[in-house]
Chain A
Amino acid sequence: MTQFLMFLINGIAIGCGFALVGSGLVAVYRITGVVNFAQGMFAVVAALSATSFVAMGVWHGLAELMAISVGGLAGLITGVIAVGKRGTQPLTALLVTLAVGFLAYAVEVLIWGENPRSLAGLDGRAELMGVPVQRQYLLVIAVTVVVFVLLWLFFSRTYLGKALTACASNPYAARVVGIDVTRMAFIAFALGGVLGGIAGVLIAPLRPVSFDTDVSLIVGGFAAAIFGGLTRPMMALLGGVLLGITEVMIQAYGNASFATMGSLVFLLVIMIWQATRRPTVHKESV
């Protein structure tokens, strides 16, 4: 039983990483209608930046914050390229984000090389109800909870958050009242970059990160985001956690090499379920 609980907590932590990537996808999709396939890249760029900052002697904590800022900057740049031109259709922007993601491979290999890099996290284990758990896993869970609470407060309590929701709800009306919808889309991409960056610096101590780690992150993040119809952050959190638990349980009690396949099956099942609930995945309230 102790072992099962340990796997469960590990799964929740892994799932929180997926949920953070997924929440970035949700933030961008809600406001722009664009499925941002560069979302995994933000996590990778932030994780690799954090390893560089630490190697340069920057203190832990500060290095991670700086790396998250780099993730936000990567998000902003991607947004400017993808939706900066007025009238860009979401499908066109989606293809642009895919291209930006591939272009980023070249930049990442040029800066950090092809070999995976690791980042030191919190050492040691803590006991949670008698279950030994890595402190880094607890940190991932705690940060994710804080991030999602802040995200909820941002969208439901702040004027800017409500204006972003307004842009998502009715872009035409937002323009009518004078909101620069393109600028708001940039903010959404930057927010997506920050959320991806947080995922990256939290995941890097748990698994080595290289330029192509974004593929597994985007698969998991997309599965989490699609669980909430790409529009509901809290459902993305639930989807991410379920996916993380599924992956860890497959690794623990089945065959580790089937873990990724498990997440793909999870994604497929959710998409079929979503498709049977409604004709297409569409915008909904939080």
Chain B
Amino acid sequence: MSDPAKATVKTPASQPREHGVIEVSDLVVRYGAATALQGVSLSVGAGEMVALVGPNGAGKSTLVDTLSRVVRPASGHARVKGRLAHVPEGRQLFGELSVEDNLRIGAWGQRDRDPEPVYEVLPDLRDFARRKAAALSGGQQQMVAIGRALMARPDVIAVDELSLGLAPKVVSDLAAHLRTLNSERGMAVLLIEQNARLAFELCSRAYVLEAGRMVVSGSCEELARSNEVARAYLGGGTGDEL
């Protein structure tokens, strides 16, 4: 997957869509002299679940940091229609604050800071609402990070490395929550994952980012059947078993 010219899957479905909740076109991001993203385009439609996969250092987190305006682009566009909430890589909670305070801070800039709607979606959070975020397990912290993002009442949620450092059972539970948010609430999801198997299971479309360039994109079914994608991200065999 190192040579963009070898990209084999490029379907109409993979093209940036008009009127998406996320529209990224020809995005270039630089950190000093280093180019993190070079001419990247991507779209996420309303109510869609889209994956962004790629190895470490590909620029996946930079892309979502640009969407949430933590990083400024050098050129190109990264537009979000409606409200985007970002679950950052490594959870990034406010460890000194309680779980409930973490949730309330997630509603920064909004009048309604009542965490009750989030407790309805993620009822387990209620059990450790008073505990300091730093004292929770990795899975609990990831749940708080998702809850904090939901406090912004987003139209689209970008989840950076949902599975990082978590047990398969925990990942499965969290993935189920994301599916519910998508199917029952119509919330669009951009899932940034190194675990392509998980990403392809959850999402309908995916983009593959390598060394700051989008090398291939398409429906997850097609990508999973691609030998090159399978070799690079699915441990060798094609993803027919998906």
Bound pair (A, B): yes
What is the interface of chain B mostly: helix, strand, loop, or mixed?
A: loop
A175 pairs with B70, CB closer than 8 A: yes
Among the listed A162, A172, A175, which residue makes an inter-chain contact with B101, where contact means beta carbons less than 8 Å apart?
Answer: A162
Which partner residue on chain B sits nearest A172 by CB separation?
B92
Say yes or no: A169-B94 contact (C-beta < 8 A), given A162-B101, A176-B88, A177-B105.
yes
Say yes or no: A173-B92 contact (C-beta < 8 A), given A178-B109, A178-B152.
yes
The contact string, 1 if C-beta is below 8 Å from chain B, for chain A 50-69, is 00000000000000000000
The contact string, 1 if C-beta is below 8 Å from chain A, for chain B 87-122, is 010001111110001001110110001000000000
Which partner residue on chain B sits nearest A285 by CB separation?
B96
The distance in angstroms between the C-alpha atoms of A165 and B113, with both chains bound, is 17
Q: How many residues of A contact B (CB 8 A)?
A: 18
Min CB distance, B155 to chain A, in Å?
15
At the interface, yes or no: B148 with Cβ under 8 Å from chain A?
yes
Q: Which one of B70, B92, B96, B108 has the highest number of Cβ atoms from chain A below 10 Å of its Cβ?
A: B96
At the interface, yes or no: A286 with Cβ under 8 Å from chain B?
yes
Which partner residue on chain B sits nearest A169 by CB separation?
B94
The distance in angstroms between the C-alpha atoms of A179 and B148, with both chains bound, is 13
Among the listed B88, B101, B109, which residue makes an inter-chain contact with A173, where contact means beta carbons less than 8 Å apart?
Answer: B88
Q: Collect the chain A residues with CB atoms within 8 Å of residue B97's CB.
A: 162, 165-166, 169
Which partner residue on chain A sits nearest B70 by CB separation?
A175
At the interface, yes or no: A253 with Cβ under 8 Å from chain B?
no
The contact string, 1 if C-beta is below 8 Å from chain A, for chain B 60-81, is 0000000011100000000000
Min CB distance, B199 to chain A, in Å?
21
Say yes or no: A177-B152 contact (C-beta < 8 A), given A163-B108, A172-B70, A172-B88.
yes
| B residues with CB within 8 A of A | 68-70, 86, 88, 92-97, 101, 104-106, 108-109, 113, 148, 152
Report the 10 A-B pairs with minimum CB-CB distance, sorted nearest first: A173-B92, A169-B94, A166-B94, A285-B96, A175-B70, A169-B96, A176-B86, A178-B108, A166-B105, A177-B108
